[in-house]
Amino acid sequence: MTDILTRYKTLDYDLPKENLAWRMHEAGVDNFGKDGVDVLPVPKPGPDEVLLRVDAVGICFSDIKLINQGSNHLRIAGRDLAQNPVTPGHEPALTVIEAGENYKDIYKPGDRMMIQPDIYYKGVNISFGYAMDGAMQQFVIVGDPVLKGDEGCYLFPLKPETGYAEAALVEPWTCVVAAYRIKPRRHLKPGGTTLIVEVEEGNWVIDGGACSGGAPGKIILAGASEGLKSRICGCGGCSAEVIEVGKLQPEHIKALTQERTGDKGFDDVIILGTPTPDLVEALSTNLARRAVMAILADKPMARPVSIDVGRVHYDYIDYIGTNTGKVSDAYGKSRDSALLPGGAAWFLGAAGPMGQMHVQRAAKMSDGPRKILCTDVDSARLNYLKSGVEQVAKENGVEIVFVNPVEAGQEAFDQAISDLTGGRGFDDIVVLTPLPVLVEGAHKHLADGGLMNIFAGIPRGIGATLDLSASYMRGSRFTGSSGSRPQDMLDTLHFTETGELPTRSSMAAVGGIDAMADGVKAVQAAKFPGKTVIFPHIQMPLTALTELDKVAPNVYAKLRDGKFWTQEAEDELLRSSLRLG
């Protein structure tokens, strides 16, 4: 008799007539699953569609945000969930079941696939697992938005031997990889709106390097001296429309934004001289998406300022500066987000599911940091992380330290930082927990030229008080990252399939289709130290890998060190749990 797992992989069985799907009928995690799983017919693909089997799906904290916010979530804004429910889930491993007539020559039954969920079609974002039905179900249909998207096809082929959980976890790992590929804009936005605010007269240099990408559409001069105006286009001519306004007060900025940008915000704000904190705070609330604020000064501001750190994360707002008086220095010396080779890195919230991925990647890098501090307030999680990464770091010549700041106390915690960095601070600080107070406490530990990457999804509108003077006095940078693009996923898949990134080692809990709602609630409660993965074609209660000996001892026996997922464990789980027609 043919092995049941082989039959599953080769589609050598009668497909079910029913598709079990977990759909959002109303907002709220507590409401998700209260009426149980929906029983739907297995859909039939149209001529321009492909039917896919969901082999595994990871549960992401972004799913929790979607379920909690419901139709208030930006990606499904205004949707009537009662009439048009949403199927979440954007971290799947997939298998082609059937292709429609127009795709039969491209997609064959049994082909293994994964999907880039951040989909753009005809200029509109209709992400998989949000506006488009996602993977918290057994079967899913995709059509032209996925197959003929703005960036090409968003389905990517997998090698036949790639594990289901391993593939499902490529998507969150891709977000980690993408976090270190942020390239700052090194010039004014071509065709954009630049606001130049002179708060102190000086020999400011606005050279051609600032316009190396092309001239802005508008340059607005606020309070500009005659000397500045005579030098504004010293690069030999400028096609930008130059508009002069008077000295700018904080209370005037909103009206100026509405008048000159249609309330979209300024693409570049250049402040010449040490500004008042009130002015910086007012300007920061009137920045466009992907805007840059550059401060040129040589004296610190009177106090730290409050900036919207949620927008740093989601809208890629960049705060830069220089004390040389030359605009192109502020832009040109801005670091990209790659971890500094040979440097010191601090991961805040290191022991959460995403934090563990960041740390594992950093510890394995041949050109990564040589010193790593991992902090978390959950000692059990921190010990779990330590058991999985300490030996790898040691073999790679990386000094790695694990600290629970609450248990250690402030004095011991500060001493640990001093001992690790020699008192100079960190070259990189990666924020992996959405708490602005941690951003405020950590930024003072940046080294000269250091970079803070706000990876955690702090909501827009949430402020943190930061010493922005460090951006021009010491070259400190603040940046953020959210999501990924197709090339990031292709690269991460390659890293996974060559063994460079151990995606499956971030898995901490497993369940079957019946455990989906429990899995969502567990992720919201941060119940497990790593990722939760659901196998939709088996029945199994949600179980921590460390507890599998009580539920599936045969699977537990295949784990590494009794806690880490392996391909052997996955094969054993499916062989013993699949029930095929």
Reply yes or no on whether the pLDDT at 383 is more than 70: yes
Reduced to 3 states (helix: H, G, I; strand: E, B; else coil), residue 287 is: strand
Q: CA-CA distance, 149 to 92, in Å (whole number)?
A: 19
516-524 vs 61-69: helix crossing angle, rounded to 10: 100
Are the CB atoms for 581 and 15 separated by under 8 Å?
yes
The number of helices, as runs of H, and strands, as runs of E, in the chain is 21, 26
Q: CA-CA distance, 379 to 416, in Å (whole number)?
A: 16
Q: Strands, E, within 101-148: which ranges?
A: 112-115, 120-121, 124-125, 139-142
Q: CA-CA distance, 40 to 24, in Å (whole number)?
A: 14
Mean local confidence (pLDDT), 334-346: 94
Report residue 332 as tokens. Answer: 């040109």
Taking the CA atoms of 184, 189, 195 and 201 in sequence, report the sign of the dihedral they define. Answer: positive
DSSP line for 481-494: -----HHHHHHHHH
Percent of the chain with pLDDT over 70: 99
Q: Structure pTM? A: 0.90
Neighbouring residues of 259: CB distance < 8 A, sequence distance ≥ 6: none
Provide the pLDDT for residue 461. 87
Q: Strands, E, within 388-470: which ranges?
A: 399-403, 426-431, 446-454, 463-466
Q: CA-CA distance, 449 to 57, in Å (whole number)?
A: 40
- pLDDT classification of 268: cutoffs 50, 70, 90: very high
Provide the pLDDT for residue 456. 85
Provide the pLDDT for residue 236. 45
DSSP 8-state class, residue 378: -
Q: Which CATH number fits domain 4-180+487-541: 3.40.462.20, 3.90.180.10, 3.40.50.1980, 3.40.50.1220?
A: 3.90.180.10
Per residue, what are the HEC states of 238-256? CCCEEEEECCCCHHHHHHH
- Which H/E stretch holds residue 495? helix 486-497
Q: CA-CA distance, 421 to 402, in Å (whole number)?
A: 14
Regarding the domain delimited by 193-305+313-334, which CATH topology (the fold level of the hierarchy) does it fall under?
Rossmann fold (3.40.50)
Q: What is the pLDDT of residues 161-202, one digit of tens each?
A: 999 999 999 999 999 999 999 988 999 999 999 999 999 999
DSSP line for 69-94: HGGGSGGGTT--TTTS-B----EEEE
The architecture of the domain spanning 336-480 is 3-Layer(aba) Sandwich (3.40)
User: Does 462 or 80 have the greater pLDDT score?
Assistant: 80
| Range list for CATH 3.90.180.10 in the chain | 4-180+487-541
> Which stretches within 148-300 are classed as H helix?
164-168, 170-179, 226-231, 253-261, 277-284
Q: CA-CA distance, 567 to 505, in Å (whole number)?
A: 11
Mean pLDDT over the full length of the chain: 93
Q: What are phi and psi of 194, to 5 degrees?
A: -105, 130
Q: CA-CA distance, 314 to 290, in Å (whole number)?
A: 9
Q: CA-CA distance, 372 to 354, in Å (whole number)?
A: 16
Neighbouring residues of 495: CB distance < 8 A, sequence distance ≥ 6: 173, 177, 501
DSSP 8-state class, residue 363: H
Q: CA-CA distance, 125 to 115, in Å (whole number)?
A: 15
Mean local confidence (pLDDT), 393-399: 96
Report residue 211 as tokens. Answer: 């316009």
- Which H/E stretch holds residue 267? strand 266-272
Q: CA-CA distance, 92 to 114, in Å (whole number)?
A: 6
Q: What is the pLDDT of residues 121-163, one digit of tens each?
A: 999 999 999 999 999 999 999 999 999 999 999 999 999 999 9
Provide the pLDDT for residue 1. 53
Structure-token match 């330590």, residue found: 386
Give whichever of 73-77, 211-215, 478-482 has the largest mean pLDDT. 73-77
Amino acid, res. 151: E
Mean local confidence (pLDDT), 225-233: 80
Reply yes or no on whether the pLDDT at 234 is more than 60: no
Reply yes or no on whether the pLDDT at 217 is more than 70: yes
Give CA separation, 453 vs 62, 499, 529, in Å: 19, 26, 22
Q: What is the separation, in whole angstroms, between the first and last Cα of the chain?
A: 14
Q: What is the pLDDT of residues 525-547, one digit of tens each?
A: 999 999 999 999 999 999 999 99
| Range list for CATH 3.40.50.720 in the chain | 336-480
Reduced to 3 states (helix: H, G, I; strand: E, B; else coil), residue 59 is: strand
- Which H/E stretch holds residue 222? strand 218-222
Mean local confidence (pLDDT), 281-295: 96
Mean local confidence (pLDDT), 323-347: 93
Q: CA-CA distance, 420 to 346, in Å (whole number)?
A: 10
Provide the pLDDT for residue 233. 58
Provide the pLDDT for residue 481. 78
Half-sphere exposure of 213 (CA within 13 A, CB side): 15
